[in-house]
Each structure stands twice: as structure tokens, then as C-alpha cells.
Structure 1
Amino acid sequence: MKKLIVATSNPGKLREMQAYLTGLDWELQLKPDSLEIEEIGSTFSENACLKASQVAKALGEWAIADDSGLAVDALNGAPGLYSARYGTTDTERIQRLLTELADNQQRQAQFICVVAIARPDGSIALQTEGICSGEILTHPRGTGGFGYDPIFYVPQQQQTFAEMPPEVKHQISHRGQAFAQLLPQLSTIN
């Protein structure tokens, strides 16, 4: 099996990526906690590539990274790159977003995810982007998921991410779409 370092210290992220890569010839490992990567890019793509590249170079191994977030049209794409830092808890982030949207009827939004894989020399071998369009509800619904999932409604499913069975979210989400594009290309790299 080939080793692929996940450019995160979050075991939950590793499990999530492993679920997308089940059955492939790649063994995922977390990056060491001591290896810190500062996300200084101005786009999801720049941050994903930066994380994958720096981890790959530092360890001399193949590395994978993703960067994702929620972009709300009426807020000019906010929270965007700052989705995870829009508050200190999921509840605070959701409340801040709902407060900023207030009674605005324009509630279109999209979750965006960019996945990048870097060679051991740090060069980017693959990069994909997935986008899931939806809208922001006025009140949370559902008990599953995390982050903004309870207020992100997908009209085609008539559910929020937090209401969807995990296998449905896994397939239609921004991350699911990015990995669906990535998987066929993964066998071409060596």
C-alpha cells in the first residue's frame, strides 16, 4: 500500500477521507502535530495546495489536503475562508451567520471543497473542486452533521445536511463531489 499523509491533525478528518478512499491502494496517516501549516492563501484552492505541498515537502511523502467552507451570496461569499473561525463553537458560528443574514430573502449559498494531492517534492499532482448549492434556513433543522449543516438546506433533497442520512450527504456534499472527481485520477499517479 502507498502512504498518503493527511495534512491535518484531526482524526475525524482522516476518517472522513478514508471513507472516500475505501478499497484503494492508499494508507492514510495524520501529519505529526508538531508540523504546523499556516493557511495564508486567499482561496480554498491556494490553502489546499499550500497544506498538501508543505506537508509533502517536510515529510518527503505523498500528502493530501482539503480546504472547504460556506459561501453565502448575500454576504458577498462570507464566511468563506473564515467559515471555521466565524465563532468559537458551531452554535456561535450559526448564530452569527443567521444574525448577519437577518431578514434578507436572498439566502442562496454553497459549500465549496478543494482537495489537493502533492508529490513528495511538494509539487501538486492532482486538484479537484466540489460545490454543493443550497440555501440558508432561518432556524436549524436536524441533529446530524456538524458546523453549518443544520442551516444548510439542499432543495433537491428537501433536507438540511444535518437531516440527511450520512450516505446521502457523503455522496452529494461538496466534499463528496470533490472526491468523486479525484478517485478516477488517483490510480494514475505514482
Structure 2
Amino acid sequence: MPTVVVATGNPGKLKEMQVYLDALGWELQLKPDAIDIKETGTTFLENARLKASGVAQALGQWAIADDSGLQVKALGGAPGIYSARYAPSDRARIDRLLQELEGIDHRQAQFVCALALANPAGQIVVETEGICPGEILLAPRGTGGFGYDPIFYVPALGQSFAEMSPQQKEQHSHRGVAFNQLMPKLQQLALE
């Protein structure tokens, strides 16, 4: 069973990735805290490439990276690539976003997930990007998920990400879309 390092310190992302990658028989592990890859890209895909490549090179192992975040149309795409750094905690990020949208009726948003897989030499061998359109609620709803999930509403399903079952979120989220695009490519790869 090949070991693939997930280029994140976020256990929530590791848990979600494991669900998508279970069929491949990969053993996933979080990157060591000592490895800190600077996210200097200007897009989600550039940052995913940087993280996957940097971790793969540092460890000499296969590495997969996810860079994802929330883009709100009324805020010019913010928080965008700064979604995780928009405030110091999930609650603070939600509060800041809701405050910035106060009085704004048009609350269209999208979650974006870019994925990149690097070989042990740090070369990107597979990449993709998934998008889930939605809107920002006036107040949090639901208890599941993490991050902005309680305020991200998917009109087609009539639920926030935090109200969805794990299976619904797995199927409809930006990460689900990205992994659905990535899986056929990954199944053709033989990791050594």
C-alpha cells in the first residue's frame, strides 16, 4: 500500500480526502508540522502545486495537496486564497464574512478546490479544480463540516454544507467535484 503525504496540517481535510481516496488503497498521512510551505501563488491551483511539490521534495514521497476556499462575488472574490487566514478561527472567519456582507442582498459565492499530486521528485503529475456554486446565508445553519460550511448554502439542495450528510457533501462539494474529476486519472497511475 503506497503512502501519500497530504500536504496540510488540517485533520478535517485529511479525513475528507481519505473518503475520496479509499478505493485506491493509499495510506494517507499528514505532513510533518516542521515542513512549512509558503503559499505564494495567486490562485488555488498555484498554491496546490506549491504545497504538493514542496512536501514531496522535502520528504522524497508522493504528496497530494488541496488548496481550497470561498469566493464571494460581492466582495470581489474575497476571501479567496486567504480563506483560511481571513481570521484566527472558524467562528471569527464566519463572523467577519457576515459582517462584511451586512446589508448586501446579492450573496452569490462559490467554493473552489484545486488538487495536485506530486511524485517523490516534486513533479506535478496530476491536477484538477472543482467548483460548487452557492450563496452565503444571513446566519449559520447546521452542525456538520468545518470552516465556512454553516453559512455556505447550496440552493439546488436547499441546505448549507453544515446541514448535509457526509455523503451529500462528498457528492456535491467543490472537493467532491474535484475528486470526481481526479479519480479516473489517479486510477491510471501506479505509485512506486
**Structure 1 stretches of at least 4 aligned residues deviating more than 4 Å after TM superposition:** none
Consecutive unaligned residues in structure 1, runs of 5 or more: none
Alignment of 1:78 onto 2:67: no
What displacement does 1:23 show? Answer: 2.2
| Aligned alpha-carbon RMSD (Å) | 1.1
For 1:106, the equivalent position in structure 2 comes to 106
For residues 149 and 167 of structure 1, what CA distance do their matches in structure 2 show? 15
Task: Encode CA deviations 1:88-117: one digit per residue, 9 max, x unaligned.
Answer: 121211111111111111110000000100
Mapped partners of 2:166, 2:136: distance in 1: 20
- Hey, what's the Cα distance between the residues in 2 that align with 1:67 and 1:33? 17
Name the amino acid aligned to 2:181: Q
Residues 115-153 of structure 1, C-alpha deviations (whole Å, 9 max, x = no match): 100111111100011100001111111111111111111
Deviating more after overlay: 156-165 vs 31-40: 31-40
Partner of 2:145: 145
CA distance in structure 1 between the aligned counterparts of 2:11 and 2:140, rounded to whole angstroms: 26
Is contact 2:12-2:146 (8 Å) kept?
no
Cα displacement (A) at 1:25: 3.0
Query: In 2, distance between residues paired with 1:153 and 1:10?
Result: 23
Q: Which amino acid aligns with 1:97?
A: L
Where do 5+ consecutive residues of structure 2 fail to align? none
Q: Percent identity?
A: 65
Which deviations, in whole Å up to 9, do the C-alpha atoms of 1:68-97 show, x marking residues without a partner?
Answer: 000000000000011111111212111111
Contact 1:125 1:189 in 2 (8 A): no
One-letter identity of the residue aligned with 1:186 = L
Whole-Å separation in 1 of the counterparts to 2:34 and 2:118: 20
